[in-house]
Structure 1
Amino acid sequence: MQPFQFHTTRSIVFREGAAADLAGLAGRILGPRVLVVTDPGIRMLGLADRAIASLTASGAACTVFDAVEADPSLATLMRAVEAGREARVTGVLGFGGGSPMDVAKLVALLLGSGEALEEAWGVGNAKGPRLPLVLVPTTAGTGSEVTPVAIITVGEEEKRGVSSPAILPDLAVLDATLTLGLPANVTAPTGIDAMVHAIEAYASASPNNNPLSRMRAREALRLLGANIKTAVFDGSDLRARGAMLLGAMLAGQAFANSPVAAVHALAYPLGGTFHIPHGLSNALVLPHVLRFNLPEAAGAYAEIAGDAFPALLRVADEVRAEAFVEALAALARDLKMPVRLRDAGVPESAIGKLAADAMKQERLLVNNPRRLTQDDALSIYRAAW
């Protein structure tokens, strides 16, 4: 067995209604002055109100920064840092989907360490220390609450990442009641996003691909595959919502240590250029990247096919991987998601630029089970268009 490292969030609470008891769970961690990082939608829906009220009732002063947008910009990050600096906060609470949680991670890092962001970009460059950090996800998708990764949009289109155990939070609070109001057109792509995390982690060519990640990836696919349709079409089903939240977290732990690859590399330019939500970007290219990978990854895909789709266990071993790819494509259609780039507003004329931009994601492409060139990226985008 090859050597590996496995990093994850120090403590995880999975409990319905846990957010309302945030002071009891996290008050000592966050301290007397808390920066709450969230987005306008979460604020408008009041999802964070009980958590903030719990902290306030315990005597903590809460400063709320609720201006995080999808694919958060560098300017937004720095405004959040300034808000935390002015309030002299002792801890950071990230509340929402992947975007608020990613911003919260970097705010905690920059306020706690004082290090320059330019020196933190990339893998293993952020050293810390950071401020105390607690994350509360409101979508079942990114798994950001257990990953050492934060993605920020720099300039008009470029996405940059910080990947370091230094930004793993002290506590993740998983409260399925927070996801009950999530509409179908958000539940579906975020759920597919979590499935992509598990698939890419399991088949990753990373030298740190390890038994702990693979185990979590398979359990994630079992939970996600069995519950995604119920969560999308019966959003009030708390059992399905909880299973999706747990599955997304397990997939996050998996890819945090056995990193994702070409699906994400080709998805990022779609988000950066056309502002397509991350989960949908992944779903649009997923079957096409997996078909490209089949010559090298068929064995891995065949192993996990039955986890996501138990009916595939009855399919012959030699064709199970191909059936897995087709089942994923069919799932997106069944969930009423756009399945072609053109359906998501991407013009055919953009394919060349998308391929060139995808090749900039070297930190992801090195993990792909099959080497991918710019010409390959072009072919994949054309197939997806």
Structure 2
Amino acid sequence: MNLNYFYSTRIITGKNCVLNNYSHFRALGRRCLIVTGQSSAKKSGALKDVQSVLNSFNISYDIYDKVSQNPSIATCINGGKIAHAIEADFIIGIGGGSPLDASKAIAVFAANPDLTEEELYSVHWTNKPLPIVTIGTTAGTGSEVTSVSVITNSKGLKKSFKDDSIFPSLGLGDPTYTMSLSDEFTSSTALDALAHCIESYFNRTANDISMTFSIKGVKTLLKGLIALKEEGASNLSFEDRELLYNGSIYGGLAINATGTAFPHSLGYFLTELYGVSHGTACATFLPFFIEHNARQVPELSDSFFQEVGIKKEELIALISSLTPRFSLKLTDSEKKTLSPRWINNKNLIKSWGEIDSDFVYNLLTEMF
């Protein structure tokens, strides 16, 4: 039995968890940079709550709201320079995966203002990153509770870096902040969370702890996903939103130990080149991934479906019904151009079976 696991983030969830846990902000310093996108932090009410807490304790702050979907390395470098210039003691990231991942990179650049892009990704940092507070406004990313950041590099490719020093000091999750999400965003982010759980479970690096998080995450998400399918996002209750949010946290805790598998790696090119949202891109490959593992590791697959309490066909049908449709036809030349991505790809290597560039080429031919 393998119970290896490391974790250093204080997680607090529930309604009004930001307003009710002000002491943790005060302990981090007297000045901070708030990292957000242009609208979600405001629309959700999260920014207002954070400002209320900071103002109550005379913690000064600047707001950096330049983070877009799939944040670029340039955006993070610029944010780091601003944080360094104002002598921020800590960083607060508010939003979905993009602002939260950006906040981690900005914390690194703030403490290391002369750091290069190559040094960021190779984790060659002289100084420890600034402390980070993460406040989620979507139910999907899990970035509130991981030591991973995915940033679009200068070549336009999504690339991750991982280090224990970018574990958030504090991760806060109030499902109320997800109530304003559209149907598309609710489905896409929830499917991302489901992908985290399933990819972590069917992962060569999975252990007893990560698999426990995965199973709990899937069981929690299923209740919310079924409600989403039947009621639509606009009719979801707070309790349904809480199920989706808590499921995403379980997913984050699972991939914190294992990382993801091939649906995430394959999904990246759909986002980078064709503008498909991240969760939708990953979910597009999820039914195939489930069928693939049923063939490759049948005993593990049988155990998974027995524990989560749903049949394989039912889960695939649920995923398919919630995955937004898009039309794409890849030429042979386009598929060959993508092939170098799959050589020695760590997420492909961690997947069960022989997953190489030929496997991916054939899969893309079948799907697109």
Quick check: TM above 0.5? yes
1:335 aligns with 2:328: no
1:51 aligns with 2:50: yes
- Judged with a 3 Å threshold, the aligned counterparts in structure 2 of structure 1 residues 285 and 357 are, in CA distance, closer, same or farther, namely farther
- Quick one: distance in 2 between partners of 1:140 and 1:361? 31
Contact 1:204 1:261 in 2 (8 A): yes
Q: 2:328 aligns with which of 320, 326, 346?
A: 346
- Quick one: distance in 2 between partners of 1:361 and 1:226? 37
Report the Cα offset of residue 231 of structure 1. Answer: 4.2
- Judged with a 3 Å threshold, the aligned counterparts in structure 2 of structure 1 residues 50 and 353 are, in CA distance, closer, same or farther, namely farther
Which moved further from structure 2: 111-120 or 77-86? 111-120
- Quick one: distance in 2 between partners of 1:174 and 1:261? 26
Contact 1:225 1:307 in 2 (8 A): no
Secondary structure of 2:58's counterpart equals coil
- Judged with a 3 Å threshold, the aligned counterparts in structure 2 of structure 1 residues 17 and 111 are, in CA distance, closer, same or farther, namely same
Secondary structure of 2:46's counterpart equals coil
Report the Cα offset of residue 366 of structure 1. Answer: 1.8
- Judged with a 3 Å threshold, the aligned counterparts in structure 2 of structure 1 residues 24 and 231 are, in CA distance, closer, same or farther, namely farther
Could you tell me which residue of structure 1 aligns to residue 260 of structure 2?
Answer: 260
> Which whole-Å deviations, capped at 9, do the CAs of 1:137-159 have from their partners, x for residues lacking one?
11111100111110111135312
Could you tell me which residue of structure 2 aligns to residue 205 of structure 1?
Answer: 204
- Quick one: distance in 1 between partners of 2:126 and 2:351? 27
Contact 2:84 2:111 in 1 (8 A): no
Letter aligned with residue 214 of structure 2: A
Letter aligned with residue 8 of structure 1: Y
Could you tell me which residue of structure 2 aligns to residue 193 of structure 1?
Answer: 192
Secondary structure of 1:48's counterpart equals helix
Could you tell me which residue of structure 1 aligns to residue 239 of structure 2?
Answer: 239
1:229 aligns with 2:244: no
- Judged with a 3 Å threshold, the aligned counterparts in structure 2 of structure 1 residues 361 and 11 are, in CA distance, closer, same or farther, namely farther
Report the Cα offset of residue 176 of structure 1. Answer: 0.9
- Quick one: distance in 1 between partners of 2:80 and 2:107? 8
- Judged with a 3 Å threshold, the aligned counterparts in structure 2 of structure 1 residues 151 and 335 are, in CA distance, closer, same or farther, namely same
> Which whole-Å deviations, capped at 9, do the CAs of 1:179-201 have from their partners, x for residues lacking one?
11111111111111111111111
- Quick one: distance in 2 between partners of 1:354 and 1:191? 31
- For 1:49-88, what aligned pairs fall within 5 Å after superposition? 49-88=48-87
Letter aligned with residue 254 of structure 2: A
Report the Cα offset of residue 24 of structure 1. Answer: 3.1
- Judged with a 3 Å threshold, the aligned counterparts in structure 2 of structure 1 residues 268 and 193 are, in CA distance, closer, same or farther, namely same
- For 1:19-38, what aligned pairs fall within 5 Å after superposition? 19-21=18-20, 23-29=22-28, 31-38=29-36
Q: Aligned pairs, how many?
A: 362
Could you tell me which residue of structure 2 aligns to residue 149 of structure 1?
Answer: 148
- Quick one: distance in 2 between partners of 1:260 and 1:89? 33
Report the Cα offset of residue 113 of structure 1. Answer: 4.8
Could you tell me which residue of structure 2 aligns to residue 13 of structure 1?
Answer: 12
Contact 2:92 2:103 in 1 (8 A): yes
- Quick one: distance in 1 between partners of 2:124 and 2:144? 20
Secondary structure of 2:158's counterpart equals strand
Unaligned runs of 5+ in 2: none
- Judged with a 3 Å threshold, the aligned counterparts in structure 2 of structure 1 residues 223 and 156 are, in CA distance, closer, same or farther, namely same
- Judged with a 3 Å threshold, the aligned counterparts in structure 2 of structure 1 residues 193 and 127 are, in CA distance, closer, same or farther, namely farther
Q: 2:356 aligns with which of 373, 381, 384?
A: 373
> Which whole-Å deviations, capped at 9, do the CAs of 1:112-169 have from their partners, x for residues lacking one?
35554422315x7667512111101111111001111101111353121111111111
Letter aligned with residue 37 of structure 1: V
Letter aligned with residue 347 of structure 1: K
Unaligned runs of 5+ in 1: 313-323
Which moved further from structure 2: 8-17 or 357-366? 357-366
Provide the identity percentage.
23
Report the Cα offset of residue 34 of structure 1. Answer: 0.9
1:112 aligns with 2:94: no
Letter aligned with residue 288 of structure 1: F
- Quick one: distance in 2 between partners of 1:145 and 1:10? 9
- Quick one: distance in 2 between partners of 1:336 and 1:214? 24
What TM-score, normalized to structure 1?
0.87
Could you tell me which residue of structure 1 aligns to residue 303 of structure 2?
Answer: 303
Contact 1:230 1:237 in 2 (8 A): no
- Judged with a 3 Å threshold, the aligned counterparts in structure 2 of structure 1 residues 41 and 382 are, in CA distance, closer, same or farther, namely farther
Report the Cα offset of residue 246 of structure 1. Answer: 1.1
